[in-house]
Chains A and B, each alone.
Chain A
Amino acid sequence: MVPLREVVCRAAALAIVLAMAGSAYGTDIPLDQRRSGYADLSRDSKAMQDDDTINPATLWVLDGEALWSQKTGAVNRACADCHQDATVSMKGVAARYPAFSPARNAPINLEQRINLCRTEHQQAPPLAYESRDLLALTAYIGRQSRGIAIAPPDDKRLTPFIEEGRKLFTRRIGQIDMSCAQCHDDNWGKKLAGSLIPQAQPTGYPIYRLEWQSLGSLQRRLRNCMTGLRAEAYDYGAPENVNLELFLMWRARGLQIETPAVRP
């Protein structure tokens, strides 16, 4: 016999899922109501993000700065040899990625752009997703766009991919059978268990997530949510993940880049 308490728990859980499943397609958050997850941080987490000497992500940014001028690959060339001073040349770059790559006929994100540079111009092996070096370079490049408004490229070729991303965002997945939009469009600001549901605005990636005790990419975060829905997460660098990234950046257009942000 199933204990009564468990039956009640199950019924409650089912009720919550049914309540949230009311609309499978989320409606977009009105532009003036959008806000970064920063707004919901605790005072301590805000202090951690605001002060570079406290923000643990600074450790990666400093590593990235060193890597920027470190010669590598068969042609023995550093990022700085082509792009010179990152504080000038990389300003605003993170605010307009993912961007369309004619070579791939698809959008590519910042990590993929870095790896393209490595394989094509430095003739070095690509860096693995979530490796310390790739996170460090992404964080260093992203840092140069801090305070700049997210501005997805005005590129017609991206439109179908943004739509693909939107489909993924609103498609129910996993055993939990919920879409991203059901939480992040329809129920942001409410609680999921003890945690606040954010709007999922990707303003500060790569982020230092306290739960991870490390820096992590947007794709790591996306995979995290998919696993939470008991769905099989798309691989790192998979077109689905890049399309989702693109859609999320389009959705967050106009919000300021905070890289590297701190999140719980």
Chain B
Amino acid sequence: MGRPLINVPAKVKRGQVFEIKTLISHIMETGFRYTTTGAQMPRDIVTAFSCSYNGEEIFRADLYPAISANPFLTFFTVATESGTLDFKWVGDNGFSETATAKIVVE
């Protein structure tokens, strides 16, 4: 579980701006809630996300407890070369997840 969902166009024209959509399964427990017995529920969130395009970082975000469960992040970049997009999420309790997507630039 925790498999990310990536949506990028399979083909784009050189110089074109295209959208990258990412969705990952995560409970994003804020750390501010208490159980019925009064025990504090420890924080368990994704703390950082990054995306690199052919090895070069193009987008990065720090996430905080106010971000809802199953964070959905979307952003844009300019198509330069065919290659791969690498995505990485890291979080509390050693959470780490990666994904890759291929893109063809014509």
Q: Which A residues fall within an 8 A CB radius of B?
A: 53-54, 56, 58-59, 62-63, 132, 210, 213-214
Contacts and interface: CB of A to CB of B under 8 A. Distances in A.
B63 interface: no
Q: Is the interface of A mostly helix, strand, loop or mixed?
A: mixed
What 8 pairs between A and B have smallest CB-CB spacing? A213-B69, A53-B7, A56-B70, A59-B25, A53-B21, A213-B68, A53-B5, A58-B5
Q: Is the interface of B mostly helix, strand, loop or mixed?
A: loop
Contacts of B21: 53-54
Give the interface centre of A53, A62, A132 by most chain B CB atoms within 10 Å: A53
Contacts of A63: 1, 3
Given A53-B21, A54-B21, A54-B23, A59 B69 contact: no
Interface string B24-51: 0101100000000000000000000000
B72 interface: yes
Contact of A59 (B5, B7, B28, B68): B5
A59 B3 contact: yes
Of the four ranges (under 10, 10 to 19, 20 to 34, 35 or more), the interface on chain B belongs to 10 to 19
A27 B7 CA distance: 46
Given A54-B23, A56-B23, A132 B28 contact: no
Contacts of A59: 3, 5, 23, 25, 70
Contact of A214 (B3, B23, B69): B69
A54 B1 CA distance: 17
Contacts of A214: 69
B72 to A, nearest CB: 6
Interface in B53-89: 68-70, 72
Given A59-B23, A213-B28, 6 more contacts: A54-B23, A54-B72, A56-B70, A59-B3, A62-B3, A63-B3
B5 A62 contact: yes
A213 B72 CA distance: 12
B1 A132 contact: yes
B89 to A, nearest CB: 13
B55 to A, nearest CB: 25
B41 to A, nearest CB: 14
Contacts of A53: 5, 7, 21, 23
Contacts of A210: 68
Contacts of B70: 56, 59, 213
A261 to B, nearest CB: 15
